[in-house]
């Protein structure tokens, strides 16, 4: 890792179910080095729900219908 940078971290196909993460500081690190930022998104698990308005079902189009629509991260 390079000091002074932000790193977006995600767990790929494992989703939210991880049990631990660790990081260690290099012996080359000095107190005058710039910080390193680890950025993780917050993902709230959604329950499958059906929304109806005036008898019509409203589809959830916030998630791409097929894998080609998904952002690689």
Q: Residue 72 domain-assigned?
A: no
Residue 21 has a CB neighbour count (10 Å cut-off) of: 9
Per-residue pLDDT tens for 6-60?
998 877 666 555 667 778 888 998 999 999 898 877 666 666 777 788 888 887 6
N-terminal to C-terminal alpha carbon distance within the chain: 19
pLDDT band at 5 (very low <50, low <70, confident <90, very high): very high
Which residues pair with residue 57 across a beta bridge? 52
In a domain, 73, yes or no: no
What gap in Å lies between CA 21 and CA 68, rounded to an integer? 30
Q: Give the model's pLDDT for residue 57.
A: 84
- The reply to whether 33 falls in a domain is yes
| Domains in the chain, number | 1
Q: Which domain holds residue 61?
A: 1-67
Q: For tokens 């729900």, name the residue.
A: 49
Q: Which of 33, 36, 28 is nearest to 6 (CA)?
A: 36
pTM here? Answer: 0.45
């Amino acid at each position: 890792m390079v000091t002074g940078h932000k790193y977006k971290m995600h767990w790929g196909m494992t989703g939210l179910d991880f049990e631990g993460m660790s990081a260690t500081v290099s012996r080359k690190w000095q107190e005058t080095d710039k910080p390193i930022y680890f950025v993780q998104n917050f993902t709230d698990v959604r329950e499958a729900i059906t929304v109806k308005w005036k008898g019509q079902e409203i589809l959830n189009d916030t998630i791409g219908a097929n894998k080609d629509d998904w952002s690689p991260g």
